[in-house]
Structure 1
Amino acid sequence: MQQAYIHTPLGTALLEGDANGISKIHVLDGDVPVSAVIPAELQEAASQLAEYFSGNLTQFTFKLNPQGTDFQKKVWQALVAIPFGKTTSYQALSVQLGDVKAIRAVASANGKNPLWIVVPCHRVIGSDGSLTGYAGGLWRKKWLLEHETPPVQQSLF
């Protein structure tokens, strides 16, 4: 398993993966130095994340290899289907997955998402539109949602 630490506007991120794909992207708190060399298996992910943060990428295409239960993987696949710049609720996600009563299990799987940003758990909000829990901190969730839905420039005329 290869590792690299990259700079993002939200802190240093740890990337882990191998030839089978990226298995983990996690933002870290604290001052962690970035990697001087990015292993070949992680270079595409690092490049696409840089493009995302620069505002030039809305969909990731590098190979993913998250580790989790079948249910967690099902939830993560549903998260990947949330369009860039859009949000959904835990309840709507539960309904989409076929069991409205599974809302807590869906929220738990969402919280165990190992692929920060790429599997966009930040796009899941409360049914009332509130920003609910986020493992990376609500300030990061707010930043990501604002990054993906910048204000539209209004015409003065």
Structure 2
Amino acid sequence: METYKLEMKTPIGVIEIVGTDEVIQSILFVERDEVYLPDQDVPGVLRQCRDELDAYFRGERMTFTFPTEQIGTTFQLEVWGALQTIPYAETASYRELAERVQRPTAVRAVGATNGRNQLSIVVPCHRVIGSSGKLIGYAGGLWRKEWLLHHEKQVAHSTQ
């Protein structure tokens, strides 16, 4: 099946969206300031993803509706599923996530799996923090993790 790419500029850098005609397979930050891949000739699901992410960054969206697909082991899929149960603007520790997947001693494996998440923001690995409450581990950079958590708290506070 053919894959397509689209890039978008966000307040915290350029995001590359990769998907097929039917699903989004990855949403990752790229370390550059300019968008190289416009949205010409890409399937509607990629444009939908871009539009929903844009609304997220504007503070107008807290959930996503486009179809996604991640390929991984059963354990990885369980962890990525558990990430999606962390409510918007809230956090959970790696230990709590390990307990959610009923593997309380697998904290390091949960952390490694979190780092392999290909669907940034949508599968909210930025909401996972250290047991001490400190921000640790984010493939997109800790400064982005901090920005995303702050953004979500501001949006959640303004909608109450």
Query: For the superposition of Structure 1 and Structure 2, which TM-score range results when normalised by the shorter chain?
Result: over 0.9
4+ long deviations beyond 4 Å? none
CA distance, structure 2, for counterparts of residue 143 and residue 108 of structure 1: 22
Q: Which of these residues, 10, 13, 18, is aligned with residue 12 of structure 2? A: 10
* Alpha-carbon distance between aligned partners in 2 of 1:36 and 1:29, rounded to the nearest angstrom: 17
User: Alignment RMSD, CA only?
Assistant: 1.5
* 1:146 match: secondary structure: helix
Deviation at 1:37, TM superposition (A): 2.3
Mind listing any 5+ residue stretches in structure 2 that lack a counterpart?
none
The structure 2 residue matched to 1:27, chosen from 29, 52, 57, is: 29
Equivalent of residue 73 in structure 1, options 73, 77, 82: 77
Instruction: Provide the rounded CA distance (Å) in 1 between the counterparts of 2:35 and 2:100.
Output: 41
- CA–CA distance in 1 between the matches of 2:94 and 2:140? 17
Q: For the structure 1 residues 78 and 61, does the alpha-carbon distance in structure 2 shift closer, same or farther, using more than 3 Å as the test?
A: same
In 1, Cα distance between equivalents of 2:91 and 2:146: 12
Equivalent of residue 56 in structure 2, options 52, 71, 74: 52
Q: Check the 8 A contact 2:9/2:34 in 1, yes or no.
A: no
Structure 2 counterparts to residues 117-156 of structure 1, below 5 A: 117-150=121-154, 152=157
Name the SS for the 2:90 alignment partner: coil
Q: 1:110 is matched by which residue type in structure 2? A: N
Given candidates 83, 88, 91, the residue that maps to 2:92 is: 88
Q: Aligned AA for 2:151?
A: H
CA apart distance, 1:34: 4.3
2:14, 2:29 within 8 Å by CA — same for their partners in 1?
yes
> What is the TM-score of this pair, normalised by structure 1?
0.92
Residue 101 of structure 1 aligns to a residue whose secondary structure is: coil
Q: Deviations over 1:98-157 (max 9, x none)?
A: 11101111111000000010000000001111001111111000000000001858xxxx
TM-score scaled by length of structure 2: 0.90
